[in-house]
Amino acid sequence: GENVEQHPSTLSVQEGDSAVIKCTYSDSASNYFPWYKQELGKRPQLIIDIRSNVGEKKDQRIAVTLNKTAKHFSLHITETQPEDSAVYFCAAKALGYSTLTFGKGTMLLVSP
Amino acid sequence: GAVVSQHPSRVICKSGTSVKIECRSLDFQATTMFWYRQFPKQSLMLMATSNEGSKATYEQGVEKDKFLINHASLTLSTLTVTSAHPEDSSFYICSANDRGRDYGYTFGSGTRLTVV
């Protein structure tokens, strides 16, 4: 089955800095890669996703890059703000399957 | 946008009793419902996948007789934790896959279960 590795487990940055979270996946058939933000005690919220037919996608301060050859994808947050503090999860889904496999999560702390 | 309503948000029960958690897709038909368990500071662990009208598929290590899943309609799935024990205390969260959107996954708001 699919295996998703996520690094780092914790990330502390100063407000205004950039943050990068990286994930690798094992199943070359995976074709959908969403990123979720989860605040304490709340549901995961989709913040951005990318499909295997593109290499990069951007939405304001958030961007995701995908390298299919190396089987890794990354989340980039620029100009971080304290409200970006949360746990971020990457996930992967293989073509023909409905199940998302999640990484272990990254706790991002943005200090004012 | 797609909304999944999950109830209750919090429940405290005594050891040995059963608890039912409901997830409803409010404005779309959920082909598939996923049930996750999340311990503090950990990731979402898939417990089971259910398709409307068929038996749920459980992940390895998840007791199907303890965690009963019913997906009787395209808008409702339930998870019943039977004979609950303190070690079952956790955050349970559902996710629904929109029938019309292959890549659409919407999460419920989660249920904090505490077994005393």
Q: What is the pLDDT of residues A81-101, one digit of tens each?
A: 999 999 999 999 987 777 899
Closest Cβ opposite residue A43 in set B46, B103, B110: B110
Distance CA B53, CA B110 (A): 23
pLDDT on residue A111: 96
DSSP B59: P
- Tell whether A2 lies on the interface with B, counting CB pairs under 8 A: no
**Phi, psi values for residue B88, rounded to 5°:** -85, -10
- Tell whether A41 lies on the interface with B, counting CB pairs under 8 A: yes
3-state secondary structure (DSSP) of residue B60: coil
Q: How many CB pairs under 8 A join A and B?
A: 43
Selection from A39-48, B6-15, B72-81 with the highest mean pLDDT: B6-15
pLDDT higher than 80, residue B61: yes
Q: Which residues from chain A sit within 8 angstroms of residue B103, using beta carbons? A: 32, 34, 49, 51, 93
Closest CA in chain A for residue B93: A43
> What are the residues facing A33 on neighbouring strands?
A50
Beta strands B10-13 and B111-115: pairing type?
Answer: parallel
DSSP H stretches of helix in B1-116: none
C-alpha closest to that of A91 among A47, A58, A54, A60: A47
- Tell whether A51 lies on the interface with B, counting CB pairs under 8 A: yes
Give the sign of the dihedral formed by CA B41, CA B43, CA B47, CA B52: positive
Q: Are the CB atoms for A74 and A65 separated by under 8 Å?
A: yes
pLDDT on residue B103: 66
Shortest Cα distance, chain A CAs vs residue B41, angstroms:
9
pLDDT higher than 70, residue A12: yes
Read off the tokens for A11: 């990330």
Model confidence over B24-50: pLDDT tens digits?
999 888 888 999 999 988 889 999 998
Whether a cis peptide bond, with omega within 30° of 0, leads into A8 is yes
